[in-house]
Structure formats: structure tokens, C-alpha cells
Structure 1
Amino acid sequence: MTVCSFRKHSWQIPQNWKGFTNLFSQLYHCDELAIGTSSVLDTPPSPFAPVFQSKSKAHMVLRAKRANSFLEEIKPPSKERECVEEVCNFEEAREIFQTQEATVSPALTHIRSASDGNQCEPDFCVNGTCVDQFQSFVCKCRPGFDGKFCDQPRNCSKDNGDCDHVCMDSVDELSRTCACLPGYSLQDNSRTSTYACGQLPVTKSSDNKAFKTLQPWLVGGEVGKKGESPWQVLILNERGNLHCGGALIAESWVLTAAHCLERSTKVSHFALLSEAVIHPDYDTVTVDNDIALLHLASPVQFSTFIVPVCLPSRRLAEQVLHRNGTMTVVTGWGKEDENKKYFSSALNFIKVPLVERGLCSQVMLNNISENVLCAGWLGTRHDACEGDSGGPMVTRYRGTWFLIGLVSWGEGCGHPEKLGIYTKVSNYLEWIRSVQKGSERP
């Protein structure tokens, strides 16, 4: 006597059914099949019952020939054939659901989890929601972001649109286009720009890294290496003595402070001046709009030690470079102490963070206009000083050095309760372009 078990029922096969014993022993015990047999064989069959059953009832107990045989793949998809007659895996399930999206729907999450784990752990979606898939994942990005990991802004409102230099919004602000400053070219990823201005080729040497060993501020700062500020310009007076600093922004143009040009000057080392243009709104009393352009009589030849600094777009400056706490570098040959008689014989570097306007207004006696940046370390004697005026304040963003300020004024030198004031260059970009274009006219 053979005993057969079907989940709910257990019954005996008579001896005269012995020929069928091997046949029953080949049954497959999957859930759907067990449930089906328990309803058909709800009562033990009589030994005298007919041996033959209808095809539909017989197939609920006895398995037909497996389907994954010759030309099986050309048949229409069937849940019974793909996931009962064959091993149920992602490939077979996709034949049923037709698309990958339907196959990986939430209803099948427990199947995926058991086979390949949660692909969203850890979650790589920076600005979106991770959707687990079979051996993969998809990031559903929040509005305004794009990319596989939702890490690329669609417009310019955040991080300059992930552009190195210039970001331009579309009319509907749902997309953006990156562009480069003059002299640069856009790389294949449509975001980054190749070398031109604002680079330090001399620092490729391992023992000559820019600004790594510098102490904050020019007063008491360290001497820099040759080539670490290749845009720095030295402005001399008629007697050949140090008068001010400047920043080379193009082969024929230098930016400096307007108060440096209250007396006639000339540019040494590069070329003589063709013209000097002071901003029309420069105020000699408040020193507001303290900026001027020097047009060189002949262009300089760029080299390892002569490189222009980059001017940022206004959007990049205001949204990224002008953030409170941004670390900047200021260079100059100015005095190391206000009581000293002589200027420094070497170019000094300083590191100084930008300070919010509210705090700056509290510690400074003079008015802080919208045309300046404030920077410094309160509680120290470190400060810019006489002779540093007009010199560049630069900051590095994505491998490029941008000019954001010019040394303008301060209340003494090295006073621990005071900060330094710098002309905000981004407020004058249109004026700079207009002057440059005007000089090109015959």
C-alpha cells in the first residue's frame, strides 16, 4: 500500500493501483499544484472508479511534457508555462510581462529581494528617490535635477548648473547650457572647460604646489614661488618705485584700483600704457567704485610665468564664489607693517575668508557699499597694507582661478578688530567689456 500526501489530505492507494504508484511519485510539489490537487481529490477515489479522467482534470495532477523544448520561445508568453513548467527567474518573468518596468513592479519586490538583494542600499541618488531593480537601480530625480544619480542641475539655480564657467538657462528654466570664458573650449561632457586663463602650469611640479605653505594675510605672510601668481602686475610710479598692484585679465588689459591712478603711472616689465580708464562713478571721498582699466600699448606674450586670471560670470560670482566663508588668496608687494618705511621686496601671498556684510558693517566705521567684498580674520593682526592696493583677490573653483576682488581700502593695517575691503569685480563686468570693445574701434 502506498500513501500519498497532498497538503490537507492523506489517503492510501489500493494494491490494485500499484501500477500507478511510480506515476504519482513523480508529482511536482509547487504551491499552485498542491492547492489544485486538494480540491480535485477532496475524497479518496474508489477502487472501482474510472481510471481515465478528462484532460483538464488530469493536468491538474499529472504534469504534461515540459514546454522549454524545441521552438518554445516562438510561442505566446504564458504564466503557467514560463513560471511553472520552467524555473521562474527574471528572464522567464519578462517574457510574461513584456517590459522591464512591468516586470520590476512593486508587486514583485519580494521576488527580487530574495534573488539579488536591495540595489538601493546604499542609496546613490543624490537629489532623488532610488527605485530598486533586478541587479540595478534607477534614480527618479526631483524637479531641477538630472543625470544617472540626480547630481546634475537642470538649470543654473544651484551650483552654477554644474558648469565650470558660464551657465545659461533656457526660456522655461527647465534646462541649461554651459559655456566657457574666452580662450577656453567646452569638453565633451558639455560642462567642463579646457585650459586657458586662471591656470598655474608651473605648479605641476610636485615640489611647487600653489599656496599650500602660505600663512593667512600679507602682513606676516610668506613669500610665494615664482609663477604662483602669473596674473600679478606691478605698477610703478614715475620714479620707478612700487605704487600699486594689478591683475592681468587679457593680453592687453590690466585691472587695478581707481585710487592708484590719482597720479600718473606706468606699467613696468610688460609694456607701456596706451590708456588708463577710471570708472566714471569712482568717488574719491568714499572710494566707492574703486576700479580702473589699463590698456597696454602692446600685448604681452603669455608663458609659464605670464597667464591671465579669469573673470567669472555674474551668476557664478554671486551664487557660488561670493558665499560667506569662501577662502580667497590675495597677493601683493605691500608693506608688512604700517609702521615700516619700505615695501616688501618679494611677492607675498595671503589666505583670507569672505565675511558677511552685516558683520563687516559692525566692525568698520566707514560705509560698506554693495560694490565691495569684505574679508579677514577678526582677532589677528593679519591684514593687507599700503602698496597692496589694486592687487588681485582670487579664488579657485573647479581647477580655475577667478578674480573676484581688488584690494581697495582698510582702516589702518593689521588692526585685530578690523577687516579688509575689496572692490567687487563682478559688479563691473559690463563696464569692463564696454571699455574693451570701445578701444577696438578705429
Structure 2
Amino acid sequence: MNDCQPPPGGKRKASDPSLKYSTRTRDVNGLEEAVEFLPATNTKKVEKRGPKRWVVVMAMLLGFLLVSLMVGLLVWHFKYQRAPIQKVYNGHLLIVNWNFIDAYENSSSPEFAMLSKKVKHTIEDIYRSNQAIGPYHKETVVTAFSEGSVIAYYWSEFIVPSYRTKAFDRAMAEKQNQTVQYRLRNPMLQVKSIVAFPADPDIVRSSWDNSCNFALHAKEGEIISFTTPGFPNSPYPNNARCTWVLRADADAIISLNFKTFDVESYSQGNDMVKVYNSLSPVEPHALVKLYGTYPPSYNLTFLSSQNVMLVTLTTDAEGRNPGFKAEFFQLPKSKTCGGTLRGESGNFTTPYYPAHYPPNTDCIWDIEVPPTKNVKVRFNLFYVLEPGIPVNSCPKDYVEISGTKYCGERSRFVVASTNNKITVRFHSDQSYTDTGFSAEFLSYDSSDPCPGKFTCNTGRCIDKAMRCDGWVDCTDASDERSCTCTDNQFRCSNGWCKPLFWLCDGVNDCGDNSDELQCKCPETSFKCKNGKCISESQKCDGMDDCEDGSDEGDCGTAKAVVCKDYTYKCHSNLCVSKVNPECDGEEDCADKSDEKDCDCGIRSYSKQSRIVGGLNSEVAEWPWQVSLHVKNQGHVCGASLISDSWLVSAAHCFKDEWPIRYKDATLWTAFLGLHDQHNTKNEKVQERSIKNIITHPGFNEYSYDYDIAVVELQKPVAFTSTVRPICLPASTHEFPVGKAVWVTGWGATSEGGSAATILQKAEIRVINQTQCNTLLPNQITPQMLCGGVLTGGTDACQGDSGGPLVSVEKYRLFLAGVVSWGEGCAQRNKPGVYTRVTSLRNWIKEMSGI
């Protein structure tokens, strides 16, 4: 853009002597224009002046009009002529003066057509009565009817100019909040209320296929099954929208259970199953959103609050999953929820526990114990969680006691009263339900609520030995407050006492990090894993300034570096700086060898169950788990499958004990894919004889150092959903302190107890090696790895020996350790000890080639 400005110095007056005029006409090629003054007596020259004033005015006016017209056209085009927006709303309305008949369940019946026509006309009249809605209505389709007197379900499509969308959305929101009776075109149809919500985007984008719509009605005492098309022999259709309308009798509710569920995971695509507490697929009435794969025992039972339910499946262009098998039946609608509970103790749960509680539920329990006692409520299991909802304020589903609301997933907790009465209220709104809770009420003596034990402020009773031991055993940490630290403890800045061996272990044990601050590097410095402090600028600069690679190992991308003991070596013998690059889905080595041989560490089920009252594993949850049987003894040890022909186990399993020669391979049989020790002949189980047992030559039967063995099968196994190998980590693979790992096996479920029948699992943590040496003095070698829960209660035990300790990584599971030994089982401050696989990785490869 050019700026029109006066010459330098601004405007000058005519009297300015520096401004010179000339009457001489210059050549047009000259550097200056001539300025000529015309004498008034020269009529010819006077007539040569510019156009008349009215012409100029008209030209200016015309130009202004043209500019205004162009601006108007542009405004009109960009504001009013942008592509209109499609709006789809799903909803329902209540017809108060109409009775439901069975024919309304059939969308092909004349009765359905007649009533849907009346409803459609009524909806159109309602829309037409609002100028912000009516002009944009394109189509309304009535999809279903249900009892009450009659509820009509429908969807409506609108085409709204972009500049009117805000006013339209506001008018639709106001319309659905009205509850007045509508008496419009048809006086025989009285509508009490109309509710409409924007349609689910997943539903709108999918194509409608009438061949994938189903209507089912369960009668009393009848269980109805249904599946996705083609299940289980072929995958469900792509680019489809399938619906299942489920009905029960008028005074009943529906219980829906998914027996098998295998749908494309969310990370792979957009396939999704949604269940609605309505026949209209609107988000405020959604009970659950499901995708991925669930084990058979996962709690997938959902209840409606009325006699209808809608199941939808939307799929994208890809995916080859088999889908689901489900069944539903009707239950009598509960007349009461809650009530008065009296006595010394008792139990109560959310409605229909352990199924998901119904939506739109309010229960109140008035609990009363004898007058001389106080009452406390102990929640043993508590799952009142709604996706995306904060648990600090509990705005939707909650349990309320004495004005305090509880929601989310909570471990066992206790709420106590100061007298013999307490009131528990449970509330669920109209969307997204959960398992609920199982609780008990107990009476206690207010002067001694926990005889012989310490009483938490919450009312929970714990052993007195747990008081001031550094572990938080009360959910409110009242057992660790106002403590006097012993010589074996240090005091945190917040006043808590913690064991001395927790200092500088890299874990924030105090909660305020004061146990680690004294070991912290100065500001703008980076602390290496070996404790060395370097400048922050030296991190990720391509140089190993820490001398242990920790400043270059977590930089997002892998760099070629000089090979060290801690760097990952590619098959080309070149090394990369990245920590744990193998089988992480990214090709970090130039020869791509870090992503080779990665058909391992994958299991069928992507969801972990909430196990009620135990730690039973799911079928196929740990497909590398092997049970090693000895002739006439049954299960003796565990092992891990690392290829189709090789296992990894513990060397001490094959130590001879008179009169049995456990080194003799012919005595052993391996069972792969086994879940239940009483069902070894299951079709999913593969039985193999043992060809060869190789124990590590450095195995010490007294210290259990080098406690590892590789076992060769007589015949290779076939990989299936229940039999798959675990990934072996590189020798440089890191399993950091505090990382969650899983140990599995059929060992004893308690010290000195009997062996488990069903494969057990336990989640524990990797424990700092120095800390472990403090807890088990002079017993831990570099070939050992410690893991456990130092509060006790979770550990491997007899019969688990040789089994896997696995780490869940980004895309795979890796074998971190082999169950080796421990002092007792699950004792406090006594971790389990495992053979460290990374330390013996090269030996495994030398012996097995894997």
C-alpha cells in the first residue's frame, strides 16, 4: 500500500522564498513538471479547465455506490452464503393420552405407521412454532415407541445457515427444557415434554444399513442371545452402523451381559459399541462405551432403569475383529432401594451388585446399632467412577455420608459415626454406571473401637506394629502422624518418620521429596543414575557425560554412539543411545534389527479385570506361562516360553533331592496354555515332553546365585491365543526402580498354604538394589533383582519358582526376572528375589540360540 504524504518539510506557504515557479514549458522528459498560470483574458485557455463540478460529484457518488455494492456482496457471500451446516438431533417425547400396544414394537405394522405419522406432524408443528428452528427443519423420522404412556423416539435433521447456528442451538436447548403440554395440529395427541440432544458424531458419520438392525423382546424367565453379524466365524462388517433394540415387559428392567467381546481397539480405529438407557442414541443416556478386547470374566453386565435398552455398533473402513456375543433377560423392577438396617452388624450393596448399578437410582440406608455402641461403615470394594468426571467434587454418581461425597475407585476405607446411627445415600444420574460398592456396617465400643489394635481416624483398625513404621496403613495417614522417630529412621520435613535405607533411593518416600532433596543436584543441573551431577546443558548433547549413558538415553530419538556396557548394540555392531529401543515400534537401528524378532510379549486381552476377592488370572492373560510337572507329583515349578521350542526356568527346580533325580529330563512334562491345574486335558492346552535341561554352570545351590536354566522341548509348540512367547530383554534393558511388574504362578497362596488351582497373578514393584541389600544383608548379587510390596501381603511363594516376572512396556511384555527365592512369603520388609534376566541374557542366547 502506498502512503500519500506531503513532501519533506510538510506544506509550504506560497510566500515561501524557497519555492520557485517558472512560466516556461519544459520538455516532457525534463526532471520537473511545468506550472503555468493562465491569464483571465485568454478565453480558450479558460475553457480548457477540468470537468464541471456536478460531473465530478456524480462520478464520486457512482464510485462510492460501486464500492458499497462490492463490500455488500463480499459480506453476503462470506457471512450468508457459506455452506450451510447439517444438524442432527436424537430425542424422544412423551405422549400422555395414548396407550401402548404390542404392534408399536413392529416398525412395519400399520399401527406403527399411523402413530409415527401423528408424532411426525406434532414435532413439525413444535419446530414450526419457533422461528429460530422451523425454517431449517428438513426431515424427522420416528424410529421406535415404548411404554409410558407412549414414548416416541425420533431423529430430526436440520440444514442451518452458518450465521444462524448459535441462535438455532440456543433455541433447541430451550425447547428441550420445556415440559408444558403441546396441543397443536392434532388435538388427540397431547405431548407433555420433548427432549432432543445433538446426535453422537460416531452415529452420524456411519452409514445406515437396515440389514444390520435388530429388535428383540425378552419374556419372563427367558434369556435371549445375540451377536454381531458373522460371529464367531467371520468379522463384523466394515463401514456399518448396527443397532439392537432390546425390550422387556412394561414393569421390568433389562440385564445385559457381554459374554465375549473383541472389537478393534481405540488405538487402531474408530470401531465402538455403545449401550444406551433409552431407544434414542444420545450421549446423556449412554451407559457405557466399549472397544478393544475383554477377558471372559470382566464385569460387562449392565442394567437399564426402564424396560428398553439400545446397543449400537459403529465401524470404520478397517478391522477384522470377530465382535461380540451378548445375552439379556428381564428382571423385576426393584420397588425399594435402601431401607433401615438394625443390629450389631450387617452387609449392603448397590442394587444388583456386582453388575453395574442402574442409572437414575437413589438409595438411602438408615443404619442403627444398639444404643450403647457407635457405628462404622466399611467399604470393602468401591467402584463409583464415571469417565472424565473429577472425583474431588463427585458431581454425578456418588455415595454421601454426613455431608461428604465419595466417588471414583477407592481401596478399602471406613467411615465412622460418633453415635449409634449413620445414614448412607447412594445416587446415580442418567448416564455411565459402574460396579458400585460392597459394604458392611459394624458396631463398636466408642471407648475402645479397636481392641488390641490402633484406631485410624477413619475408624479402621490396624496392628499396633504398623504405627509409626514409615508406611501409610490408614487411608488418612493418621498412623504416621505425631510420631517420634527411632534411630533407624529419619524425619522428613513434613514430620513423618521413614526408614533410613529409603534415603536417596530415587523415590519420593516422604511425599514432600525431602528424603531425596539432600541428594539432589544443584539448580540447572542433571542428576545421573550413578549419582553424578552434570550441567543441564550436557543432557542430550550426544556425549556420555554421566559415564553411564543416563544423560543420553531418554532424549526421544536414538543416536549412534560409541558402544558401552549400557548401550544397545544393533546387529551391525553399532550402538544407539536410546533406552530400551527393542520392539518399541520405532526403528532405531540403521539395520532395523531392534524391531526384528518381535513376535512376542503379546496377549489376547487388552483389559485387566477388577478381580473381586482374589488374584485369579484370565484365560490367555499370560500365554507364556508354563507349568512343569514331575511324574507322580504334578505341578512342581513354573517356566516361561521364549520360542516354539525353548523355556526359561530356575536352576534350583532341577536340583536333585533324594530319591528324585530332578535333572532327569524324562521325568518332566510341560503344559502350555494351562489355566486350571484340574483341567490339563483342555483343548487349549499343549502338552510337551522335555528333551534337554541346561542349568547355569555358576548356579550356587546355597546362595541361589545364577539361578537360571533353559529347557528344550521335545517337539515345538504351535502359537495360539493361549500359547505365545514372552520377549527377552537385551542385556542393556532397564527396569527402573519403582516400576510395576507382574509375577504369576500356581504356587501357595499363603506361606505354608496349599497350591493354587487357577493361575494367580500379583502386581509388585522393582525395589532398589541397595535398599534390598539392606533388607536382606549380604545375600543380593548382581545376578539378582528384588521385587515386592514392602508392606507385605503380595509376593511369589512355594510352587511359583521358575515362573516369570514380566514388565509391561509400550507395545510388548518383557521377561524381567525368574522367580528364585525369598524369606517366607509376602512378609513385611522382605522382598522376593528374582534372577535378573538382563545379567544372563547372553548366556541364554549361547545355550538356546534365542
Question: With structure 1 as the length reference, what TM-score do the two structures score?
Answer: 0.59
Cα drift, residue 373 of structure 1: 0.7
| Partner residue in 2 for 1:329 | 742
Where does 1:7-156 land on structure 2 (aligned, <5 Å)? 8-12=9-13, 44-48=18-22, 143-144=541-542, 151-155=556-560
Cα drift, residue 155 of structure 1: 3.4
In structure 2, the CA distance between the partners of 1:267 and 1:375, relative to structure 1 (3 Å rule), is same
| Contact preservation (8 Å) 1:236, 1:243 | yes
In 1, Cα distance between equivalents of 2:560 and 2:575: 10
Where does 1:379-398 land on structure 2 (aligned, <5 Å)? 379-398=791-810
Which consecutive residues of structure 1, in runs of 5 or more, have no partner in the other structure?
A: 15-41, 60-140
Cα drift, residue 401 of structure 1: 0.8
| Contact preservation (8 Å) 2:583, 2:812 | no
In 2, Cα distance between equivalents of 1:434 and 1:152: 31
Cα drift, residue 50 of structure 1: 6.9
Confirm or deny that 1:199 pairs with 2:602. yes
Partner AA of 2:721 in structure 1:
T
In 2, Cα distance between equivalents of 1:402 and 1:56: 89
In 1, Cα distance between equivalents of 2:582 and 2:794: 38
| Contact preservation (8 Å) 1:144, 1:153 | no
Partner AA of 2:795 in structure 1:
D
Where does 1:255-404 land on structure 2 (aligned, <5 Å)? 255-263=648-656, 264=662, 265-269=667-671, 270-315=687-732, 317=733, 320=734, 322-340=735-753, 342-404=754-816
In structure 2, the CA distance between the partners of 1:366 and 1:243, relative to structure 1 (3 Å rule), is farther
| Partner residue in 1 for 2:220 | none
Partner AA of 1:312 in structure 2:
P
Cα drift, residue 144 of structure 1: 3.8
In 2, Cα distance between equivalents of 1:415 and 1:338: 9
In structure 2, the CA distance between the partners of 1:193 and 1:241, relative to structure 1 (3 Å rule), is same
| Partner residue in 2 for 1:90 | none
In 2, Cα distance between equivalents of 1:171 and 1:56: 77
Which deviations, in whole Å up to 9, do the C-alpha atoms of 1:355-394 show, x marking residues without a partner?
1111111111451100011111112222211111111011
| Contact preservation (8 Å) 1:237, 1:266 | yes
| Partner residue in 2 for 1:247 | 640
RMSD, aligned CA: 4.2
Q: Residue 824 of structure 2: which of 408, 412, 427 is its match?
A: 412
3-state SS in 2 of match to 1:267: strand
3-state SS in 2 of match to 1:305: coil
| Contact preservation (8 Å) 1:214, 1:350 | no
3-state SS in 2 of match to 1:387: coil
Partner AA of 1:223 in structure 2:
N
3-state SS in 2 of match to 1:222: coil
Cα drift, residue 259 of structure 1: 0.6
The answer to which of 298-307 and 374-383 deviates more is 374-383
Partner AA of 1:232 in structure 2:
Q
In 2, Cα distance between equivalents of 1:7 and 1:289: 92
| Contact preservation (8 Å) 2:745, 2:799 | yes
The answer to which of 165-174 and 397-406 deviates more is 165-174
3-state SS in 2 of match to 1:426: helix
Relative contact order (C-alpha < 8 Å, sep 6+): which is higher? 1
| Contact preservation (8 Å) 2:560, 2:575 | no
In structure 2, the CA distance between the partners of 1:351 and 1:56, relative to structure 1 (3 Å rule), is farther
| Partner residue in 1 for 2:297 | none
Partner AA of 1:249 in structure 2:
I
In 1, Cα distance between equivalents of 2:703 and 2:30: 99
| Contact preservation (8 Å) 2:600, 2:725 | yes
Cα drift, residue 239 of structure 1: 1.4
In 1, Cα distance between equivalents of 2:809 and 2:800: 24
Q: What is the percentage of aligned positions where both structures have the same residue?
A: 27
Partner AA of 2:668 in structure 1:
K
Which deviations, in whole Å up to 9, do the C-alpha atoms of 1:51-105 show, x marking residues without a partner?
759989769xxxxxxxxxxxxxxxxxxxxxxxxxxxxxxxxxxxxxxxxxxxxxx
The answer to which of 355-364 and 234-243 deviates more is 234-243
Cα drift, residue 248 of structure 1: 0.6
Partner AA of 1:5 in structure 2:
P
| Partner residue in 2 for 1:19 | none
In structure 2, the CA distance between the partners of 1:49 and 1:329, relative to structure 1 (3 Å rule), is farther
Cα drift, residue 186 of structure 1: 6.5
Partner AA of 1:234 in structure 2:
S
Higher strand share: 2
Where does 1:159-178 land on structure 2 (aligned, <5 Å)? 167=570
Partner AA of 1:276 in structure 2:
I
Cα drift, residue 175 of structure 1: 11
| Contact preservation (8 Å) 2:570, 2:589 | no
In structure 2, the CA distance between the partners of 1:252 and 1:419, relative to structure 1 (3 Å rule), is same
In 2, Cα distance between equivalents of 1:417 and 1:9: 90
In 1, Cα distance between equivalents of 2:575 and 2:759: 48
In structure 2, the CA distance between the partners of 1:54 and 1:304, relative to structure 1 (3 Å rule), is same
Partner AA of 2:755 in structure 1:
F
3-state SS in 1 of match to 2:605: helix
In structure 2, the CA distance between the partners of 1:49 and 1:192, relative to structure 1 (3 Å rule), is farther
3-state SS in 2 of match to 1:334: coil
3-state SS in 2 of match to 1:289: coil
Higher helix share: 1
| Partner residue in 2 for 1:213 | 610
| Partner residue in 2 for 1:67 | none
In structure 2, the CA distance between the partners of 1:396 and 1:57, relative to structure 1 (3 Å rule), is farther
Which deviations, in whole Å up to 9, do the C-alpha atoms of 1:10-48 show, x marking residues without a partner?
21469xxxxxxxxxxxxxxxxxxxxxxxxxxx9842123
In 1, Cα distance between equivalents of 2:19 and 2:25: 10
Question: With structure 2 as the length reference, what TM-score do the two structures score?
Answer: 0.32
| Contact preservation (8 Å) 1:233, 1:245 | yes
The answer to which of 260-269 and 306-315 deviates more is 260-269
In structure 2, the CA distance between the partners of 1:366 and 1:11, relative to structure 1 (3 Å rule), is same
> Matched residue pairs, number?
303
3-state SS in 1 of match to 2:819: strand
Partner AA of 2:710 in structure 1:
L
Cα drift, residue 324 of structure 1: 1.0
In 2, Cα distance between equivalents of 1:289 and 1:343: 26
In 2, Cα distance between equivalents of 1:281 and 1:328: 26
3-state SS in 1 of match to 2:642: strand
Which consecutive residues of structure 2, in runs of 5 or more, have no partner in the other structure?
A: 34-538, 544-554, 657-661, 672-686
In 2, Cα distance between equivalents of 1:243 and 1:327: 27
| Partner residue in 1 for 2:259 | none
Cα drift, residue 143 of structure 1: 3.8
Cα drift, residue 212 of structure 1: 4.8
In 1, Cα distance between equivalents of 2:714 and 2:820: 26
| Contact preservation (8 Å) 1:232, 1:245 | yes
In structure 2, the CA distance between the partners of 1:272 and 1:142, relative to structure 1 (3 Å rule), is closer
Cα drift, residue 213 of structure 1: 3.2
